Chain A
């Protein structure tokens, strides 16, 4: 049953001027899972994300999404295949309203071109209405309904973190890459985030998560990949990872007890 793979990464390698960020990394992400990638700072997590989303090109190796090779294609083409992402340091469109931010996410689901937009041809209005509706749904999923009329620039950090997710959801991705969604959030916000990640997964979207908050990772993940110096240290279910000697010694540093 789990021979199905949504994302396959094979022998992936990337170095920056002599420093190897990812070294011969392989793993598979099954559909419908929350799959987490953990590891100390500098383990290569964000580099991995940048390669998966087409921003960086790997030096070697293959990335297949639903059997499509996505190495060498542009980020917007990766997005068109059904991969969306959020960013560690917010990449919001601060010059736009909350609703417009999320409506940008509907770009791939609509067709209006420059010319028909310029002349406001029939059909444009209908697409606008649809986009707005989709955007509202995405905002609602992230409990952001009440911020709909605000300017993105005026919102607090925690809300922006969720707004980024709403925007990514509006793309209707099959795979959502989340880069440290809980970073900088307080406890309540972290709990909300955890629930949101679960909701996203239940909506049928596979989540690939990079996160430092171990409590959240252990709670929310189906499987976990532990990275160390750009290669795989361990992989398995949260329980397996917690018992893994290598992980406990090398990464978590001695004795670990999870308060959950």
Chain B
């Protein structure tokens, strides 16, 4: 039993690490521009699918070229999303921006469908498929790649926002856009960095996890929703809360799939999310704010 639980925990952390990266992407964009980007999951899909497409076949590129190109492509999509869909609708209501990004996610999915069809694809494992035994639980090397990669990325993002000029400038934009502009911050550029960074995280998540979970044109939908849940679970707008929320959600799902019912694992995740929203709307790690009248 204990071994089983260890197994569920290891799986949960792997899945949770993916959620954490998506949730982090949500947080960054939300912080920078007050937009909930429902196309966040599509970044994951685009990163994975384009890498697969570029490295496929006899004339395919070597993975060392295909993966960076896939990341760059995804970053490009992220920046275009900001430039051509979010920026023109400046000042729009919450509902409007939600629908714009939902539209963007459907659009990107449609493009993926057109290019790559409905098939399911996988990336090769980065370093073999020889299982590693921990007690009676097993782990694939790729699981370690996911956990380690995600951890490095999270540390990197944390460092970026706390120790670099540009990271702080993005945070300034999120606090007060006009004031940021007045002290000479190029808000437009900061937005592009924020969206690019989010897309980068999405692409990385996609590349890391696709060897295990596979991908298809519509793989981004559920991942996006899970990432959003994780971000809210951790306290929306709190990047490290989002990461914790992601890991937590992964664990909840994996444990409930193993111990309760695999069919209902998603439902259990969402039920816990609803309970958190009802009893602690600011999330597990967020600060409550009072409304000003």
- Complex contact flag A–B (Cβ < 8 Å): yes
Q: Does A258 contact B (CB under 8 A)?
A: no
**By the criterion CB–CB under 8 Å, are B293 and A50 in contact?**
yes
CA distance A50 to B290 in the complex (A): 13
Q: Is the CB of B290 within 8 A of A87?
A: no
Report the count of interface residues on B (CB-CB < 8 A). 2
Contacts of B290 in A (CB 8 A): 16
Q: From A55, which residue of chain B is reached at the shortest CB distance?
A: B293
* Binary per-residue interface labels of chain B (252-293) against chain A in the complex, 1 for a CB within 8 Å, 0 otherwise: 000000000000000000000000000000000000001001
Q: How many A-B residue pairs have CB under 8 A?
A: 6
A16 to B293, CA, bound (A): 14
Contacts of B293 in A (CB 8 A): 46, 50, 55, 87, 91
Nearest A-chain residue to B291, judged by Cβ: A55
Count of interface residues, chain A, beta-carbon cutoff 8 Å: 6
> Nearest Cβ distance between residue A107 and chain B, in whole angstroms?
19
Considering the complex, give the chain B residue whose CB is closest to the CB of A87: B293
> Chain A 27-49, CB within 8 Å of chain B: the 1/0 string?
00000000000000000001000
Give bound CA distance, A55 to B292, whole Å: 10
Taking the nearest CB of chain A, how far is it from the CB of B291, in angstroms? 9
* CA–CA, A55 and B290, complex, Å: 12
Nearest CB in chain B: distance from A44 CB, A:
14
CB distance from A88 to the nearest CB of B (A): 8
Chain B positions within 8 Å of A50 at CB level: 293
Bound form: Cα–Cα A55–B293 in Å:
9
Q: Which chain A residue lies CB-closest to B290?
A: A16
Closest to A17 in B: B290
Residues of B within 8 A of A46 (CB): 293
Contacting residues, chain B, for A87 (C-beta < 8 A): 293
- Bound form: Cα–Cα A198–B290 in Å: 35
Shortest beta-carbon distance from A127 to chain B in Å: 30
Nearest B residue to A179 via CB reads: B293
Instruction: State in angstroms the CA–CA spacing of A87 and B293 once bound together.
Output: 8
User: What's the minimum C-beta distance from A56 to chain B, rounded to whole angstroms?
Assistant: 8
Task: State A16–B292 Cα separation when bound (angstroms).
Answer: 12
Q: Give the CA-CA distance A87 to B290 in the complex, in Å.
A: 17
Residues of B within 8 A of A16 (CB): 290
Chain A 143-166, CB-CB to B under 8 Å as 1, else 0, gives 000000000000000000000000
**Separation of A124 and B290 alpha carbons in the complex (Å):** 39
Contacts of A55 in B (CB 8 A): 293
6 A–B pairs (Cβ distance < 8 Å), ordered by A: A16-B290, A46-B293, A50-B293, A55-B293, A87-B293, A91-B293
B240 to chain A, nearest CB (A): 22
Q: Mark B22-34, 1 if CB is under 8 A from A, else 0.
A: 0000000000000
Interface string of A48-64 (1 = CB under 8 A from B): 00100001000000000
Q: Please list the 6 inter-chain residue pairs (A to B) with the smallest Cβ-Cβ separation, ordered nearest first.
A: A55-B293, A50-B293, A87-B293, A16-B290, A46-B293, A91-B293
Which A-chain residue is minimally distant from B292 (CB atoms)? A89
Measured CB to CB, the closest approach of chain B to A153, in angstroms, equals 14
Contact with B along A204-233 (1 / 0, CB 8 A): 000000000000000000000000000000
A155-200 interface (Cβ within 8 A of B): none
Q: Looking at the assembled complex, report how far the CB atom of A146 sits from the nearest CB atom of chain B, in whole angstroms.
A: 30
Cβ of A48 to closest chain B Cβ, rounded Å: 12
CB neighbours (8 Å) of A91 from chain B are 293
Which residues of chain B (190-237) have a CB below 8 Å from chain A? none
